[in-house]
Amino acid sequence: MTDTAEAQASLEAVLKDEIVRMYQEVADNPKGTFHFFHGREAAELFGYAPEWLGRAPADAVASFAGVGNPHERSDLKAGETVLDLGSGAGLDAIIASWSVGPNGKVIGVDLNPAMCLKAQAHAAATGARMECQVGRMEDIPAPADSVDVVISNGVINLSFRKRRVIEEIFRVLRPGGRISITDIVSAKQLSQSIVNDPKLWAS
């Protein structure tokens, strides 16, 4: 490994720990203070339908940590297979499962096993069909050409290897598949002090 690759790998490991800590904290303590919108307030701000927020488990809504509304453009159809990258406490996956119905399938992917268990418990509580695979969006645990639609909400910005994530998305999508992602981009080059701060990167 070159010095640069080694430095990046070590920064990536620190970042992963901070990501696990931060989103676990949102899920375990949603009433805590965070410097990003979360929970019902965020979902309402991003235009989530009130009936979704009434129907989903209160804990999944309270733990929501997305940055937008990927359902606005996902145009999900009954019977489709959907992959939710970074499924967190499961709100987006649960909403997707209502759209694809009993003949469809929703697969969540999250690097934190505890979040996967939480999302599956939330989905089961509403009778939603969702399975969660523990894994990384940089190596998506799904076969090639197996998914109709990829959704993701506020997760790809967290990766050090965004190009790799996009390649993985294209690998798992079937020909003609679709992508509906909401995320954060910066129009300005971020300073090195921001880039090197795991806390800022993780949020």
User: Binding residues for ligand SAM, per CB under 6 A?
Assistant: 19-20, 23, 64-66, 86-89, 91-92, 109-112, 115, 136-138, 153-155, 158-159
Q: Residue 59 or 178: which CB sits closer to ligand SAM?
A: 59
Helix (H) or strand (E) holding 58: helix 58-62
DSSP string, 105-157: EEEEEES-HHHHHHHHHHHHHHT--EEEEE-BTTB-SS-TT-EEEEEEES-GG
For residue 191, the minimal CB distance to ligand SAM (Å) is 22
Min dist CB 77 to ligand SAM, Å, is 20
Q: How far is the CB of 82 from ligand SAM (least distance, A)?
A: 12
Structural element, H or E, at residue 175: strand 173-182
Cβ closer to ligand SAM: 74 or 87? 87
Q: What is the dihedral of CA 152, 162, 36, 19, to 10 degrees?
A: 100
Closest to ligand SAM by CB, 146 vs 175, is 146
d(CA 83, CA 175): 15
Residue with smaller CB distance to ligand SAM, 3 or 13: 13
CB of 93 to ligand SAM, least distance (A): 7
Q: From the CB of 51, what's the least distance to ligand SAM, in Å?
A: 17
3 versus 159: smaller Cβ distance to ligand SAM:
159
Length of the chain: 203
Handedness of CA 17, 18, 21, 23 (dihedral sign): negative
Shortest reach from residue 33's CB to ligand SAM, in Å? 17
Residue, CB closest to ligand SAM: 86
- Measured CA to CA, the distance from residue 123 to residue 186 in angstroms comes to 33
Three-state secondary structure call for residue 50: helix
Question: Which residue, 120 or 153, is less far from ligand SAM as judged by CB?
Answer: 153
- Give the strand order in the sheet containing 105-110: 130-134, 105-110, 81-85, 147-153, 173-182
